[in-house]
Structure 1
Amino acid sequence: MLRIILAKPRGFCAGVVRAIDIVERALDLHGAPVYVRHEIVHNRHVVDKLKAKGAIFVEDLSEIPAGSPTIFSAHGVARSVQEDARLRDLPVLDATCPLVTKVHVQGRRYARAGRTLILIGHAGHAEVVGTMGQIDAPIHLVSTAAEVEALPLATDTPVAYVTQTTLSVDDTRSVIAALGARFSDVQGPDVSEICYATQNRQTAVRDLARVSELLIVVGAENSSNSNRLREIGVEMGVPSYLVADGSGVDPAWLDGVSTVGITAGASAPDELVEDVIAALGRLRSIEVSQLDGVEENIEFSLPAELRNVPPRGAAAIAN
């Protein structure tokens, strides 16, 4: 008998639900196609389902015909992209997660106060690219404490930091501590202000790792928050793997294992967790339970023009 324990919470967060709902309701309101700049969330399964319904995903606004409904992804975009959409007369629905928008607002406030801005994040990630393009001031990007030491700034420089929302809370805490040790005048949000969903899923995966011999994280390879969950499992000494769905499960992982923990990144629908459970069930007899954890009931409002369109989107994709 293979015991499977599910983390709580896992999978879709409120920002992802909102983003998918925006695409679904835009399709209902305008009909196909609607255009989405970048993957709406980092999950191929979600993107493929929306493609089948008439969403077209592009990386550049030049690929969108004039006047076509246009959606910005949950990761946010630079102001230059917003301006380009305005100049091309594209009707935009902004699916940027409200917690990412909060980071943009914080960064601009610190910059207006004359502080040198430091962004804690990973170079090239869509959220980081958008954040750096939302703030009209020089930004220093760091991802480790060592990079803080290498910053070309005097120790008495008034600095402020903001963070990518999907980082490891522990890693972020160490970088913030390095900033405090290096600079005499530092301002920034407390670690507790980093995305609630990121914190909840990371706390849950730590609890899960303590009672599991093997950890499986369901999520996409390009999903930052999913990768952090796997890394936490590794840090806790548990063999940990990231899979997109049940096809990624290797039977060899189960050798000598009686308890498997499963969680999912914030952009992974629950049907993919069910697919992994089914894959394990084809290999062994299974018993499934769920850890106690935080009950998330946060919802983010939709753009005004979509609020009267009947909902049907994220729930269908999530299940």
Structure 2
Amino acid sequence: MTNDDLVLQTILPVSHDLGGFKVHRTLPNRERTMVGPFIFFDQMGPALMAAGQGIDVRPHPHINLSTVTYLFAGAIGHRDSVGSDIVIEPGAVNLMTAGSGIVHSERSPGEERAKGPELFGIQTWLALPEAVEEIDPAFEHVPRADLPVLEGAGARSRIIMGSLWGATAPTTTYAQTIYADIELDPGGSVPIDDSADERALYLVEGDAALDGMKLEPTILYVVRPGTRATLRSAGGARAMLCGGEAFATPRHVWWNFVSSSRDRINQAKHDWKAGRFAKVPGDEQESIPIPEVPKTVSYP
């Protein structure tokens, strides 16, 4: 099987230095907006910040999407306008469903900030199906212990969302979704089956190959539909598998807003400027102003 038989697209990241840490973004991209419901894919870090520093993502809005935060190292304090206030740690999942509109902030917890916080993880956005784009906003925290982990052949695979390898995560899904954190020991392997319409692999660190095709870190490899293959590592690796059902209608992205309707995004812009979104209890003094030219957009 050739590389073209295995991989439909190879998406290179756009990297941003956010002061103290880097973000590598592969979705959305000029070549492709979505893989299944996944419409945004960011790797945060790895970074080790100095004592007293930390991340401070001020309150900002979202609509018509779900955000999924998953950490390998460090901790992030999450607050939102539905009243959630929780610290996420490695191996757990924060699922925030914006629906008709939500505001949240993400900051390094005080104890982490004091010692010099680590930051290493993946944040993704999932577009919502049209029928539920405007559902009530909600938040869900799934502890590490509640996510199934499958072990064998030198691999440990934690299922973050959906069903894979005969096990199902308890995390809420609105469209058919697969999402897993795969750790491979030296010589380890894991099958990548064809259980979803669209799938992509992302090598976080280490070395790995898909049926002999070498993968490079921070690149998103969109696997050709219907292809079955095996992910292997000679020296050890960590990779993410994501995907799900193909959406029949396109989604538009502008800044933190995702929707099937450009008019809905324009309305959200006006609402944020006018202060019509709800506030974040306990984090009401600051907010991120709407940008003139956002870094996150769909194409064209």
TM-score by structure 1 length?
A: 0.25
Q: Which has the higher helix share?
A: 1
* Higher relative contact order, structure no. (Cα contacts within 8 Å, ≥ 6 residues apart): 1
Return the TM-score normalized by structure 2. Answer: 0.26
Structure with larger Rg: 1
